Structure 1
Amino acid sequence: MKLHSFKIKRSLVAGAFFALFSISLVSCGGDGGSTSGKDSTASASSDDNTLLGAGSSFDNPLFSKQFSEYSKTGNLKINYQSVGSGAGISQLTAKTVDFGASDAPMNSKQDSAVSAPVVHIPVTEGAVVLSYNLSEVKDTLLLTPAVLADIFLGKITKWNDPKIAAVNKSAKLPATPIVIAHRSDGSGTTNIFTTYLSKVSEDWSKSPGKGSSINWPIGLGGKGNEGVAGLIKQTPGAIGYIELAYAVQNNMPYAKVQNKAGNFITPSIASVTAAANIQIPADTKVSLTNTEAADGYPISSFSWVLLYKDQKYADRSLDRATKLVKLLQWMIHDGQQFSSALTYAPLSPAAVSAGDAVLKSITYDGKPILQ
């Protein structure tokens, strides 16, 4: 769909910018544990009491809480930049941060760009939800995989389309044009959503396919979960994909999605946990999308913190490396207590066990950091 009015475009962009700015201040402010006011491309801090991270905006609400709480246990500060998974991986590759965060495992191209092996620590489980702006619709919207793919392919262009109406028989759907809101930056959230669409739609799999950044067939782009949420809230008829916590915190409606078993599932802690009830490989790189679980939400995912397996590089000290590894150990254990209140699913015992094994493999000059 094309928007023909310059005034409409200008108001959308302005609204998205305001939403991005205001939400970022709220989610990143904290009590000195997580901040976002510094230049995200700055070199890693030489102060061993300040760790720098960058990446997933999907993780940002949880990280803000965890880092704020962890900073109370000592004098360590964590400056985390919510810049998107792709940017986080780029900054880790450039060694300007101590850790990256991504909602998608690094791919072969990203692996080949780093100077040394990088490990993945699962830190949370979350859901990507389809939020929409339809004030006329009082019932929760139901979406099948086929309808969802056709909406984002631009094949379904109005909300009262017969295909949507057939699934939502009791809803009074307006003739409002559908406006797609998607990520404009490299994003693990995009990777989760497009991986799901590629699994459930042959047409989507052929083009545009899956990835952290794709050529969208239609729609408006917003930076970060914050930017997409801003576009949805500012645009009647909009639909976009955002992290569940952002939808809940901002009182945004989101759809039930039909899973592989044929059940319409509400994204929740319970349904995300159900989706993650799978065997986890040693490297922890696994996809939860289109889960086989009958009660599992189909657009669920782990999210990972990424760091170099051997921490002795550049002028890094053993003290700095140890503080980073102990922070991560806390995050996957005690730090999980803050998950549920922010609508993240706490890590399963299997995920914690896999994370512990990876943490024990991290070294400094070839020697394990955790004894």
Structure 2
Amino acid sequence: MKLLARLAVAGALLASSAAPAYAEPITGAGSSFAFPIIGKWAQSYRVAKSDGAEMTPLDIGVDYEPIGSLGGEVRVTQRAADFGTSDRPLSSEELQRSALIQFPIVMGGIVPVVNLDGVGPGQIRFTGALLADIYLGKIKLWSDPAIKAANPELKLPDAPISVIYRADGSGTSFNWTDYLAKASPEWRGKIGVNTQVAWPVGKGAERSQGVTDAVKRTKNAIGYVEFGQVVRAGLAYAQVQNKAGVFVKPDPASFTAAAASAEWAQAKDFGLMLTDAPGADAYPIVATTFALVPKPRTRRTQDVLDFFRLSFESGAADATALGYVPLPGTLVKQVKDYWAAGMKTDS
């Protein structure tokens, strides 16, 4: 059964002209990584736009489907949605070809999760090379000497590792495979980086919730999921060794440390990856969710930009509470300037 999440929020926001009487929600689709924060922002937007009214029509607002980054890219490119979200930055050539703008909306961590007896959150440790070898099928048992060497204090079972991966076109997978490719030349040469790859071993699950559920019900499993969803599900997450050789616990502070190295002003169309960031405190698998909005500026695209504008201005605390890193003020200004430069009015 496919998951369809409908988020009803208040409708059009225009400061300069009166809104026409229409009751069609703006539509969005894509990242399940960012679905929790988009859902929260949608609720806040509804409250803000109700302006104290006792009732707001439910058919006016935002209709968002967390179908995965690839699905979001396809929907907005085909103009089957008013905006898409993706955890993969599109190239400037792709954006130009599809007449889209792209901007970051939130950042967060992707963490390895395990289902092992006696192993709690933050207790097991992995290097990037270990994770690559597990997902390559080269390390098959939890009792492998390489895993024991990184975890001498843990009692790990002499049992096969059950590998779980995202089966759908996923920006989470894009960032995961990008990190594995940076940690392992063999991974880069044999598997590569993409939203979907030919996984050598394991079983696939649809969307973030599917991976979460598969790991929870599978003894001796390993998977990868967005940090906030992991915490809310009560899964045991791992520390991961970063570029400085430090095993780092995933949390908003270590994600912020990784994000601090990003030179957004130098990146055309904000096309940056944050995996394997420098710094002793930086968590190495940090992803950015990007919004994709069609050009030119129309009534509906203006509604989309107004939704994200309000979210940036009043939703940073919500992002932090859910385990994400909100955009810093300087980056929000860059995004707004980018809107002004890239979105001409459809006259």
* TM-score bucket of the superposed structures, by smaller chain: 0.7 to 0.9
Q: Deviations over 1:232-275 (max 9, x none)?
A: 01100110111111101111110000000011111111111110
Alignment match of 1:310 (pick from 272, 285, 296): 296
Alignment match of 2:42 (pick from 52, 67, 74): 67
Map residues 162-241 of structure 1 onto 2, 5 A cutoff.
162-241=145-224
Map residues 325-336 of structure 1 onto 2, 5 A cutoff.
325-336=305-316
Counterpart in 2 of 1:288?
274
**Hey, what's the Cα distance between the residues in 1 that align with 2:196 and 2:92?**
15
Alignment of 1:161 onto 2:144: yes
**Hey, what's the Cα distance between the residues in 1 that align with 2:259 and 2:279?**
9
Q: Secondary structure at the match of 1:171?
A: coil
Q: Secondary structure at the match of 1:192?
A: helix
**Hey, what's the Cα distance between the residues in 2 that align with 1:48 and 1:285?**
35
Counterpart in 2 of 1:145?
128
Using CA pairs below 8 Å that are at least 6 residues apart, which structure has the higher relative contact order? 2
Alignment of 1:85 onto 2:69: yes
Alignment of 1:50 onto 2:25: yes
For the 8 Å contact 2:89–2:273, the answer to whether it is kept is no
Q: Secondary structure at the match of 2:292?
A: strand
Alignment match of 1:341 (pick from 301, 321, 343): 321
For the 8 Å contact 2:6–2:63, the answer to whether it is kept is no
Q: Secondary structure at the match of 1:236?
A: coil
Q: Does the C-alpha gap of structure 1 residues 47 and 91 become closer, same or farther in structure 2, counting only changes over 3 Å?
A: farther
Amino acid aligned to 1:125:
M
Q: Secondary structure at the match of 2:155?
A: coil
Unpaired runs of 5+ in structure 2? Answer: 11-20, 50-55
Alignment match of 2:116 (pick from 134, 138, 141): 134
Q: Which runs of 4 or more aligned residues in structure 1 lie more than 6 Å from their structure 2 counterparts after TM superposition?
A: none
Counterpart in 2 of 1:122?
104
For the 8 Å contact 2:6–2:64, the answer to whether it is kept is no
| TM-score, L = length of structure 1 | 0.82
Counterpart in 1 of 2:9?
33
Unpaired runs of 5+ in structure 1? Answer: 1-16, 35-45, 312-317
Q: Secondary structure at the match of 1:206?
A: helix
Q: Does the C-alpha gap of structure 1 residues 109 and 187 become closer, same or farther in structure 2, counting only changes over 3 Å?
A: farther
Q: CA deviation at 1:48?
A: 5.5
Amino acid aligned to 1:58:
F
Q: Deviations over 1:298-351 (max 9, x none)?
A: 00021111112313xxxxxx4333222111211222122211111111212342
Counterpart in 2 of 1:98?
82
Amino acid aligned to 1:320:
R
Q: Deviations over 1:113-148 (max 9, x none)?
A: 62x2x1112110101000110023347100011111
**Hey, what's the Cα distance between the residues in 2 that align with 1:148 and 1:157?**
11
Q: CA deviation at 1:78?
A: 0.7
For the 8 Å contact 1:93–1:113, the answer to whether it is kept is no
Amino acid aligned to 2:44:
E
Q: Secondary structure at the match of 2:75?
A: helix
Counterpart in 1 of 2:16?
none
For the 8 Å contact 1:284–1:354, the answer to whether it is kept is no
For the 8 Å contact 2:274–2:285, the answer to whether it is kept is yes
**Hey, what's the Cα distance between the residues in 1 that align with 2:22 and 2:149?**
59
For the 8 Å contact 1:271–1:295, the answer to whether it is kept is yes
Amino acid aligned to 2:72:
G
Q: CA deviation at 1:69?
A: 1.0
| TM-score, L = length of structure 2 | 0.88
CA RMSD of aligned residues (A): 2.1
**Hey, what's the Cα distance between the residues in 1 that align with 2:333 and 2:182?**
28
For the 8 Å contact 2:92–2:268, the answer to whether it is kept is no
Counterpart in 2 of 1:242?
225
**Hey, what's the Cα distance between the residues in 2 that align with 1:112 and 1:179?**
42
